[in-house]
Amino acid sequence: MSGSPLRGSALQPGAHDVQPVANETRDRIITGIVTGVPFFALGPVCWQLWENALSWHDLLVFAIAYVATGLGITVGFHRLLTHRAFQTKPWVRG
pLDDT tens digit string along 36-87? Answer: 999 899 889 989 998 899 999 998 999 999 999 999 888 888 888 888 787 8
What CA–CA distance (Å, rounded) separates 10 from 94? 12
* Other beta carbons less than 10 A from residue 16's beta carbon: 6
Distances (CA, A) of 27 to 36, 74, 87: 14, 23, 33
- Kindly compute the dihedral angle of the four CA atoms of residues 91, 78, 29, 69, in this order, to the nearest 10 degrees: 80
Flag whether pLDDT at 28 surpasses 70. Answer: yes
